[in-house]
Structure formats: C-alpha cells, structure tokens
Amino acid sequence: MAASALTFQSTVKLLSGYEIPRLGFGVAYGFGKEEDPLELTKPGVLEALKVGYRHIDSAQLYRNEREVGEAVRESGLKREDVFVTSKVPDEGEPLASVDASLKALGFGKLNVLSYYFMDTLKTRYPDYIDLYLIHSPPAGKENRLTKYKALLEAKRQGKVRTVGVSNYNIHHIEEIREAGLELPSVNQVELHPFCQQRPIIEYCNKHNIAVEAYCPVIRGKLDDPVIVDIAKKHGKEPAQVLLRWSLQHDLIPLVRSSNPARILSNTQIYDFALDEDDVKRLDALDRGAEGAISWNPIDVV
C-alpha cells in the first residue's frame, strides 16, 4: 500500500512501458449532474493543467474530445508532457473510433503562420493518444475479443500508445489472457469505499494491470460520518480523504470538477497520510455492488 512518499508527480509504469500519472483529471461532465460538457471542458482542463495535472481522461461518449485537445494545445505544454486517455463508445468500431478521436483531439494539427515552423510543431504535437480504452464490455466473448484485437492493431499502427479496458470484470480479462493476447495495461472501474470491487483489484494486481478509479469522491456524496470524522482528524476535506484512500490502495483516481478552487484542492493530498486505523474504517464501508453509484456494467456476459 502506497503512503507518504507519493507526490503530485508520481507515476505508474504500465505494461506497455509508458508512465501514467497517479492522479487524473476526468472530464465526464454531464454525467450525474445537469451541466453542459461543451461549456465546462475547455476551461476545466486549462485550469487543471495550470495547477499541475498531467493526466486527462476523456471519451467519445463525453462529446468533448475536441475541447480537451484545444485546451492541451493552448496550455503551452509539450504534447509528451500530458497523458491523454479516450475510449471507444459501446457500439463503436475501434479503428474508426481511434481515427475519430485523433481528428477530434487535433494533436496533429499544424496551426502555423510560416512553413518554416512546421517541423518544430510536428515534433511538439505528435498525433497519438496515450491510452485508449474499451469503454465497457460489449455483449459476447467474440465481440469483445474482436474489439480488443482492433485496439491492438491501432497500437501497432502507432495511433495509440497503450491499450486498456474499462468496467471489465475478471472473466472479461481472462478471455483476453486465454486467447494469448497482450493483456490490457489498464482497467478503469468505479471505485470508492462504498464500492471497492476487491476481486477485480486483486486480479489486476496479480497481472500487473493498473487500476483506475472513477467516481473516487462518490460524486460529492461526502456526508458519511466515518469520512467526515477522518477528514476532521487530519484537517482535510472529505474529498481529499477519499482521494488519499485511493492513492494508498495503489489506485489511479480520476477526479472531475469545474470549480477552480475544487480543482486545486483535489491536488492537495500529498501533505498527509491515512493511518492504519483510518484505512480500516474506510475499508469497512464496502457495500459491494450495492454501493455503486454509477452504471458499473461489470457483469455483462
């Protein structure tokens, strides 16, 4: 279990060989809240990059890849310094989806005033996606394997650096392993103290698959007495306690906000550590599948 040595710059080395930042900024605006993703995404991502996030998690389903790409390009950061994730939609064809995401993100665009700058900008904004996921397991083993193989082909073509999955249960990943295919580098699932998905985490840890946690702050439902008490003990906000819990369980939390103050405060989780009793109390909140607050489609057959 990770502890106080963690910093905002901490990364995890993936099976693909690439490094992924340990704290991610999610842009699933409009899910669970009445908000306009097109209005919130670009300023949210720009603010996140300004305060130090270097990991942005998007998806075609979120309808805001274009705004993510614009924010990354306008941030002044080098392309290689920002880890960008997107996902193939449930009914999408993977190779076409990758091409559509690349076009929307626009990292290969050359906004130049002079021909002489073109080679420089090509180097600065190479056209690739750091991580591409299957957003949720489609029905049927052969269908799942066909989609996964297509993403591996996109990786072979250099369009995607790392391939992963989302909302996959153990049997879904076992299908990949038994087919003799390269294992996914990442599995992104709903994870927080009320929905801990422990068998999935144990399986992924055994096979060196990094686990990303979405809904890590329970969509703002932070009034549980245990969470509130631990927050008071450390002089921290409940959301900060939950993010710290994720980090100390070696998860990669993906936290969403459109509020600049909250975007910053969600990064202020490296100056304290939960002790053993804190972790035990939070772990005891697990309700299994009943604790899920999102769609959590892990049982597709």
Catalytic residue among 29, 62, 128, 203: 62
Q: Is 132 helix (H, G, I), strand (E, B) or coil?
A: strand
pLDDT at res. 114: 33
E strand intervals along the chain:
11-13, 19-21, 24-26, 55-57, 83-88, 129-134, 160-166, 186-190, 210-214, 252-255
Question: What does each of the 301 residues of the chain score in pLDDT, given as a tens digit?
Answer: 555 589 999 999 999 999 999 999 999 997 767 788 889 999 999 999 999 999 999 999 999 999 999 999 999 999 999 999 999 998 889 999 999 999 999 998 654 433 344 444 444 467 999 999 999 999 999 999 999 999 999 999 999 999 999 999 999 999 999 999 999 999 999 999 999 999 999 999 999 999 999 999 999 899 999 999 999 999 999 999 999 999 999 999 999 999 999 999 999 999 999 999 999 999 999 999 999 999 899 999 8
Q: How many CB atoms lie within 10 A of CB 248?
A: 19
User: How many angstroms separate the CA atoms of 19 and 135, rounded?
Assistant: 21
What's residue 125's pLDDT?
63
Query: Would you list the DSSP string of 154-218?
Result: HHHTTSEEEEEEES--HHHHHHHHHTTPPPPSEEEEE-BTTB--HHHHHHHHHTT-EEEEESTTG
Which two structure tokens, joined as six digits, stand for 92? 């999408």
One-letter amino acid of 131 = L
53 catalytic per annotation: no
- Of 1, 5, 8, which is closest to residue 266 (Cα–Cα)? 8
Instruction: Tell me how far apart the alpha carbons of residues 151 and 162 are, in angstroms, rounded to a whole number.
Output: 9
- Return the pLDDT at 29: 92
Task: Compute the residue count for the chain.
Answer: 301
